[in-house]
Amino acid sequence: MAEADYVVVGSGSAGCALAYRLSESGAADVIVIEAGGTDAGPFIQMPGALSLPMNMRRYDWGYRAEPEATLGGRRLQTPRGRVIGGSSSINGMVYVRGHAKDFDHWEAAGASGWAYADVLPYYKRLEAMEGGDPVWRGLLGPLNVRRGEMRNPLYHAFVEAGMQAGYPVTPDYNGERQEGFGPMQQTIWRGRRWSAANAYLRPALQRQNCRLLTGEATHVVMDGSRATGVAVKRRRRLGEVRARKEVILCAGAINSPLLLLRSGIGPADELAEAGVETKVPRPGVGRNLQDHLELYIQQECREPITLNGYLNLFAKGQIGMEWMMLHTGHGATNHFEACGFVRSAAGIDYPDIQYHFIPAAVRYDGRAAAEGHGYQAHVGPMRSKSRGSIRLTGAGPDAPPSIRFNYMSHPDDWRDFRTAIRLTRELFAQDAFERYRGREIQPGEAVKSDEDLDAFVRDHAESAYHPCGAARMGAADDPDAVVDPECRVIGVEALRVADSSIFPSVTNGNLNGPSIMVGEKAADHVLGRQMLPRETLLPKLAEGWETRQR
């Protein structure tokens, strides 16, 4: 079909950043392969419509996880973007770097050169943070980031409640101190979703040396132990895109491990069972799968000031018209405008619970949770010890993968969720919510005991859509690692993986930001450049964390 120096599979968060940087100098040409179609139109570009694209088969791979015994046999959706921009075109547009200690843990796990001091320069290179402190934040990068405007008084009530409960206020959780309550940051610019496609891919495609090819990558083409290209299915025809230098998989948390497995790179016994010839045995491929689970804690609001008043068709039409004409109003925000990061107990050195607050009581599909008005906090533990796997069910690309997260399989997960629910109830009980607070919609005031809370978690916990880790980065001599610290697939020449699948452990927050950072840093590894100089900044931990929860 085509040939280029570098063949990038996937136009998601990392793939767009990688293509932009690889083609930046003009010295090499790049082909980006994307299975999905255009991201044009209001469903994706209007931030307020965020619940629509992730529920549309047109934009999503349609994956569902296996039944989870710990969740009552429920099969949770695993939406992954099948569209230009990948999952950055269907996500919630929340921007979180992750805590500094997350990356220090990566390095301790064998990802040498990925400590906070190493990745901070890449975060600063990628960001254009509105009103950011240049000591901690980037101001001139491709990715526009802004703080939520917090015009609804309930946002301020949430932050005030956090302060009344004894937590600090943090004006920039991506800066010196993550812990605390404050405005949430959004990848929104001039009222539009600022996806990786808008930030990186469109500018890259203006260059003569970067091309986009629409088609589904089915496997990596190998010559012995060297990757030479990618097999691509286009309009029911199979062809090959050849790489003169390297193939880089940026197909995402599910599809990059799948492509490795379908290419014969993975656990030999599992490949044989699926009818795939083992070319490079790598037992870690498909293992170490992680995600964040969350709950919606919902409260009735006694004043008619919430977004529940805009869920009817007439109001939605008005919002859509204003957005299309002016890119302003309720359509120009994702409504996640206030947040919190707290520690669940004394002795935990950095936050392990995250809050997203919205002035509405709704489900993720955008439907009302109850009659009348309400508000809710999305809350969940950030560092679950549960681990899952991705496996093949057949040799061909049409065989659906087996995705099993093993949610709540570690006993600590249950304790952490109980704590998260009780801490949220404490927040909603503060004086800041006094004038607004009605009855508790969910879980409901009768749900109090450990057993009742566990049953609520089992029946209502949902994925926060942060899968990662199934092609783990580690030391080259680690038998369970899949890629080395330069993102090279261990045991294979000219093949790398650069996306959230290489995370050794899930970061503290949403994954779009860290995934873009991986694409930025991986580009310098691919090009053989010297890494950006390490930073010496040290983030603040809570004083007295050893003995105090707050």
pLDDT of 366 higher than 90? no
Token digits of residue 278: 């083992």
Give me the mean pLDDT over the 460-466 stretch.
Answer: 97
pLDDT of 311 higher than 80? yes
pLDDT of 382 higher than 70? yes
**Beta bridge partner(s), residue 186:** 94, 146
Residue 55 — pLDDT band, cuts 50, 70, 90?
confident
According to the model, what pLDDT value does residue 364 have? 66
According to the model, what pLDDT value does residue 236 have? 84
Core vs surface per residue 378-392: b (16+ CB within 10 A) or e? bbbbbbbebbbbbbb
Phi, psi of 281 (to 5 degrees): -70, 125
Q: Which residue has the tokens 């992750």?
A: 98
**C-beta of residue 271 within 8 angstroms of C-beta of residue 278:** yes
What CATH code would you report for 149-183+293-381+408-460? 3.30.410.40
Residue numbers belonging to the annotated binding site for FAD? 83, 91-94
Of 182, 141, 223, 178, the C-alpha closest to 508 is 178
According to the model, what pLDDT value does residue 159 have? 98
DSSP states of 108-144 as a string?
A: HTT-TT-SHHHHHHHHHHHEEETT--TTTS-SSSSEE
Sequence-ordered list of residues with C-beta below 8 angstroms from that of 371, at least 6 positions apart, any chain = none
Of 432, 406, 410, the C-alpha closest to 162 is 432
> By CB neighbour count within 10 A (0-12 exposed, 13-18 middle, 19+ buried), where does 84 fall?
buried
Residue 367 — pLDDT band, cuts 50, 70, 90?
confident
Average pLDDT of the residues of the chain: 97
Residues in the chain: 550
Give the residue numbers marked as catalytic: 466
According to the model, what pLDDT value does residue 235 have? 86
What CATH code would you report for 1-64+77-145+188-284+470-529? 3.50.50.60
**C-beta of residue 543 within 8 angstroms of C-beta of residue 159:** no
pLDDT of 369 higher than 90? no
* Percentage of residues in the chain having pLDDT higher than 70: 99
Sequence-ordered list of residues with C-beta below 8 angstroms from that of 312, at least 6 positions apart, any chain = none
Of 1, 92, 147, 150, the C-alpha closest to 462 is 92
pLDDT (tens digit, 9 = 90+) per residue, 64-81?
Answer: 999 999 999 999 999 999
Alpha-carbon distance values, 203 to 142, 198, 215 (Å): 9, 8, 21
302 vs 372: CA distance, rounded Å? 9
Of 137, 134, 135, the C-alpha closest to 126 is 137
According to the model, what pLDDT value does residue 477 have? 97
Alpha-carbon distance values, 122 to 13, 182, 532 (Å): 14, 24, 7
Domain boundaries, the chain: 1-64+77-145+188-284+470-529, 149-183+293-381+408-460
According to the model, what pLDDT value does residue 384 have? 97
pLDDT of 1 higher than 80? no
**C-beta of residue 402 within 8 angstroms of C-beta of residue 326:** no
The residue type at 479: P
pTM: 0.98
Residue numbers belonging to the annotated binding site? 83, 91-94
> By CB neighbour count within 10 A (0-12 exposed, 13-18 middle, 19+ buried), where does 461 fall?
buried
Residue 154 — pLDDT band, cuts 50, 70, 90?
very high
Token digits of residue 416: 């952490």
pLDDT of 121 higher than 90? yes
pLDDT of 471 higher than 70? yes
What is the CB neighbour count within 10 angstroms for residue 275? 11
231 vs 289: CA distance, rounded Å? 26
Helix (H, G, I), strand (E, B) or coil at 531: coil
